[in-house]
């Protein structure tokens, strides 16, 4: 059964990891998907995986943190597919920092620009189309938005906490228009994000830190996003779904 036939979905950060898996799942469910990222080669590979399910996705090479490129994401999607039903704000970056870093503000600005400001602007641009389609938004947050754990990665944790509150604010504003807004908060998931230089953490140690003794896979988070974006979740808005193998229990 295909749940998203004729639905139009934007997935940011679709060139890798959670976003790539989510884009493929939406394609499998019959959606027309706009794949957004900066790496053309990786986007093309994900587009091939989506096309196997019979629908050609739209590839949009864009940096979500640049306003002109953000505008082009929504404009091109609506131009090609005629509407917008679902916005998945997934693009994100993860860096090591603490407040005593000499370059703290540089890291803070770059993380906030991608993980929070870009989400705000894309939501602002997409809102009229989502109101028209009575669609929904899924923001990809993190357990870092609700759990501190160690005194590092201040900017990343702050960006995700802000994203959680933003999600709830927009959920309340758009509810009277029939638009739902939710977030998912993964714990550690095995993706390229852990290859970011200078992180000082690795997946093996994170696996040991979880209650279930494992890290997640992108496909698990994609399935959660698919559920929240579907009509099966029609009563759900302003919620944040944790999928962390029990990390925050410890
Ligand atoms: P990946 O590094 O595998 O994917 C990140 C994606 O974001 C890539 O497709 C990348 O594309 C895209 N991206 C980053 N910056 C930009 C930008 N400025 N403009 C457009 N696209 C951008 O990581 P994940 O799949 O793990 O991360 C996806 C989301 O999940 C992030 O928001 C992350 O914070 C969140 N998350 C991940 C967890 C994990 O353990 N993996 C845990 C909790 C949350 P490109 O390089 O082509 O631009």
pLDDT attached to residue 3: 87
Percentage of the chain modeled with pLDDT above 90: 95
- Reduced to 3 states (helix: H, G, I; strand: E, B; else coil), residue 45 is helix
Q: Which residues contact 237 (CB under 8 A, 6 or more apart)?
A: 136, 171, 175, 180, 181, 182
Summary mean pLDDT of the chain: 97
Selection from 96, 108, 249, 114 nearest residue 187 by Cα: 249
- Complete domains list, the chain, with CATH: 8-249 (3.40.50.720)
147 is catalytic: no
Indicate whether residue 89 lines ligand 1 (CB < 6 A): no
Q: Residue 2 — very low, low, confident or very high, per pLDDT cuts 50/70/90?
A: confident
- Reduced to 3 states (helix: H, G, I; strand: E, B; else coil), residue 35 is strand
pLDDT attached to residue 200: 84
What does the pLDDT average to over 153-181? 98
Region at 125 (left for phi over 0; alpha for psi -120 to 50; beta for the rest): alpha
How confident is the model over 111-153, as pLDDT tens digits? 999 999 999 999 999 999 999 999 999 999 999 999 999 999 9
pLDDT attached to residue 1: 55
Indicate whether residue 61 lines ligand 1 (CB < 6 A): no
How confident is the model over 180-195, as pLDDT tens digits? 999 999 999 999 999 9
- Kindly tell me if the per-residue pLDDT of 238 is higher than 60: yes
**Sign of the alpha-carbon dihedral angle for 85, 31, 68, 159:** positive
Residue 116 DSSP code: I
Q: Quote the CA–CA distance of 152 and 155 in Å, as a whole number.
A: 9
How confident is the model over 20-32, as pLDDT tens digits? 999 999 999 999 9
Indicate whether residue 17 lines ligand 1 (CB < 6 A): yes
User: Distance from the CA of 17 to the center of ligand 1, in angstroms?
Assistant: 7
CA dihedral of 237, 238, 241, 247, whole degrees rounded to 10 = -170
Q: What is the pTM of this model?
A: 0.98
pLDDT attached to residue 106: 98
| Pairing outcome for strands 32-37 and 58-61 | parallel
Best residue for ligand 1 mutational test, from 66, 92, 119 (most atoms within 8 Å of Cβ):
92
Give the number of the atom of ligand 1 that is nearest the alpha carbon of residue 91.
7
- Atom 9 in ligand 1: which residue has the minimum CA distance? 13
What does the pLDDT average to over 48-59? 95
Give the number of the atom of ligand 1 that is nearest the alpha carbon of residue 15.
9
Indicate whether residue 189 lines ligand 1 (CB < 6 A): yes
Beta carbons of 239 and 168 less than 8 angstroms apart: no
Give the number of the atom of ligand 1 that is nearest the alpha carbon of residue 218.
25
């Amino acid at each position: 059964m295909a749940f998203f036939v004729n639905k139009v979905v934007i997935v940011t950060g679709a060139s890798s990891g959670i976003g790539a898996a989510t884009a493929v799942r939406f394609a499998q469910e019959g959606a027309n998907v706009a794949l957004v990222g900066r790496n053309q080669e990786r986007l093309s590979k994900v587009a091939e995986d989506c096309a196997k399910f019979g629908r050609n996705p739209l590839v949009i090479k864009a940096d979500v943190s640049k306003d002109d490129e953000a505008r082009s994401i929504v404009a091109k999607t609506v131009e090609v597919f005629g509407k917008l039903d679902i916005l998945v704000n997934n693009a994100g970056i993860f860096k090591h920092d603490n407040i005593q870093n000499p370059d703290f503000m540089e890291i803070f600005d770059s993380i906030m620009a991608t993980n929070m400001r870009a989400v705000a602007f894309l939501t602002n641009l997409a809102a009229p189309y989502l109101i028209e389609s009575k669609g929904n938004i899924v923001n990809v947050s993190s357990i870092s938005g609700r759990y501190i754990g160690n005194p590092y990665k201040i900017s990343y944790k702050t960006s995700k906490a802000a994203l959680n509150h933003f999600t709830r604010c927009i959920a309340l504003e758009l509810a009277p228009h029939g638009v739902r807004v939710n977030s998912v908060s993964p714990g550690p998931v095995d993706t390229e994000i852990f290859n970011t230089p200078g992180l000082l953490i690795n997946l093996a140690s994170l696996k040991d830190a979880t209650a279930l003794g494992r890290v997640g896979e992108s496909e698990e988070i994609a399935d959660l996003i698919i559920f929240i974006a579907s009509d099966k979740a029609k009563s759900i808005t302003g919620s944040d779904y944790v999928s962390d193998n029990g990390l925050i229990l410890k």
